[in-house]
Amino acid sequence: MSRIEVLERMLAAEPENTSVLFGLAKEYEKLDRAEDVVRLLVRYLQLADDEGNAYGMLARAYEKLGQREQARRALEQGVVAAERHNHPSLAEEYRLMLDADFAD
């Protein structure tokens, strides 16, 4: 059984398990399954107080889907989350991405 199959079964048994949601999203990201990444991370972020990492992953998935506005919003939310959890370097990384890729 693959890692994805194990995680999918675990998620079916515990649909609100944030660790499984995030882990499965990471596995889907490796396979370039951006729609699945978005679906899982949106759900994850509704349930978890993420420290910022999920927002960057979500932004990359939105970018792959050509959804630039959603990607920009995910990065902005990631800045807020990173600052709230005292991760200034992550917040700065997201600010730099916003300035480089989303400047008007």
Q: Which of 95, 38, 36 is nearest to 62 (CA)?
A: 38
How high is the pLDDT of residue 21?
98
Give tens-digit pLDDT for 4-56.
999 999 999 999 999 999 999 999 999 999 999 999 999 999 999 999 999 99
pLDDT at 102: 82
Q: Which residue has the tokens 């960057």?
A: 56
Q: Where are the domains of the chain?
A: 3-101
CB proximity list for 81: less than 8 A, separation 6 or greater: 49, 50, 51, 52, 55
Sign of CA dihedral 68, 86, 54, 17: negative
pLDDT band, very low/low/confident/very high, at 101 (cuts 50, 70, 90): confident
* Residues 29-38 pLDDT 10s: 999 999 999 9
Q: Could you please state the CATH topology (level 3) that the domain comprising 3-101 is classified under.
A: 1.25.40
